[in-house]
Amino acid sequence: MIIQVNDMNQSLLFRKLSFLTLGLLATFVLISIVPILASMPCSASQIGIAETIVNKVYLDSLLSGVKRGQKLYQGQKIRTSMNSSAELLLSDKTFLYLGERSDIKLTRFFLGKGSSNDINQLELVRGLLRFASAGIKKNNFSIRTQNASVGVRGTNFDIMFNKHGTEVSVNSGTIDVTTLSGSIMVKAGQVYRVPLAGVQKFSLSISPAMKRAIGKLKKQIKPKSELAAIDKQEKGVKVQSSDAKNKLYMDLSFGRVVIRMLPKIAPNHVKRISELVKKKFYDGLIFHNVVPGFVAETGDPSGTGVGGTGETLLAELSNTPFVRGLVGMKRDRNDLNSGDSQFFILLGEAKHLQGKYTVWGKIEEGMMLLDRLRTGSPPASPNKIIKMRLANDPN
């Protein structure tokens, strides 16, 4: 009888040990499979791959590191550590570049599988994201931060979110930045900031923090064609010397306007403008006459509309259409050959002036900025040209 009791105790002990072993095994399996499950959301909708991984890049968990060539799925979170970066290639050939200590969530993606009205979305939780699209022509991609939403059309741009707020810098194309205050269009060469506290506004240059983050990203990931194209624009690298020689950067307090000069139409006027720009003649001059939907005039050191250098030019008239964005030389109404330093930019069509004034340029980027100029003749508080430079001589 005693032996039977001992046998029963041994049997119970064996059962307890078996259950304990099975429990430990189940726990081990669960811990092992969590990273795998984290890397494959329930939807299991693959949207791209990790093209390049530098140092430590993770998914939702620190246990789930991202490796080069790894498939990416809708719903995943991707984050980089210190001194780390990632290049992600989406299935539509769009590139996403993550700087160090950056987090994004691949919220919702269709990439050609949904209807034409479906919006692809990702969230930038913190850090730097460089977006290089594959040529999205319509506004069907949205990037969200804590205090802003960016609508993307075929474009290349940088977006950063940190303790100060959201900052975007457009390298090519156009984006729409939407906040509680409304929407604004940001074009190539423009920088726009949406602070967590304060007034959102255009800026003449990117912040030191964004500059450092971009610099580090470019050191860690060798630029591909999309990234290289952005870098050329950032540095002002000229594709052809003639292009840079005939391009002007006119910086306003709320962004940059790019003017393409037309030497084939008005060679002497282009030469005069270039000479004055090199002398920094236009720096600080006001827009002394701004009429909404018609014209904005500047280039008079006296600010009265009658000043200049004292050296006039012979007119170089053409049949160039007088449309919005055209840049021409102002002159005395009664003297065709009285052009000096003043010029005008058309804010709307002006057919009645065609063939009567010399055309020497056109606005290539930043036309929307000119619509923000204060109006009047002169305005009560006129806007100024902060500085004006040739693209091949930015200093």
How far does Cα 185 stand from its chain's mean position? 11
Q: Where is pLDDT greater, at 132 or 382?
A: 382
Compute the distance between CA of residue 101 and CA of residue 83 in angstroms, rounded to an integer. Answer: 8
Phi, psi of 62 (to 5 degrees): -70, -15
Residue of 219 and 137 predicted with greater confidence: 219
CA pair distance 58, 110, nearest whole angstrom: 23
What is the CB neighbour count within 10 angstroms for residue 387? 18
Does residue 20 surpass a pLDDT of 60? no
What pLDDT is stored for residue 133 in this prediction?
76
Here the tokens at position 161 are 């979110």
Q: What tokens does 213 get?
A: 């983050």
Identify residue 20 by its one-letter amino acid code.
L
Q: Which two tokens stand for residue 17?
A: 């040990």
What confidence category does residue 294 fall into, taking pLDDT thresholds of 50, 70 and 90? very high
Q: Which CATH architecture has domain 46-227?
A: Sandwich (2.60)
% of the chain at pLDDT higher than 70: 79
Find where tokens 């290539």 sit. Answer: 364
Q: Cβ of 144: how many Cβ atoms within 10 Å?
A: 18
Per this entry, what is the length of the chain?
A: 395
> For 94-98, 99-103, 116-120, 226-230, which range has the lowest pLDDT when averaged over its residues?
226-230
- Stretch 372-392: mean pLDDT: 94
Instruction: Write the CA distances from 304 to 112, 212, 222, 286, 333, integer angstroms.
Output: 56, 43, 52, 10, 16
Cα separation, 195 vs 199, whole angstroms: 7
pLDDT of residue 238: 36
CA dist 354 and 92 (Å) reads 45
pTM: 0.53
- pLDDT tens-digit map of 222-272: 655 444 544 444 444 333 445 788 999 999 998 899 999 999 999 999 999
Sequence-distant (≥ 6) Cβ neighbours of residue 339 within 8 angstroms: 269, 312, 313, 315, 329, 330, 331, 358
Weakest mean pLDDT among 2-16, 278-292, 343-357? 2-16
Mean pLDDT of the chain: 83
Residue 100: what pLDDT?
Answer: 96
One of 1.10.8.10, 2.40.100.10, 3.40.50.80, 2.50.20.10 is the CATH number of 241-390, namely: 2.40.100.10
Domain 46-227 identical in fold to domain 241-390: no
- The pLDDT assigned to 241 comes to 43
pLDDT tens-digit series, residues 121-153: 899 999 999 998 755 555 477 899 999 998 876
Helices (H), the chain: 2-38, 208-220, 225-235, 241-245, 267-278, 367-370
Please report, for the chain, the start and end positions of each structural domain, with discontinuous segments joined by +.
Answer: 46-227, 241-390
Q: Which of 29-33, 201-205, 315-319, 378-382 has the lowest mean pLDDT?
A: 29-33
Name which of 71-80, 134-143, 216-225, 296-305 the model is least confident about.
134-143
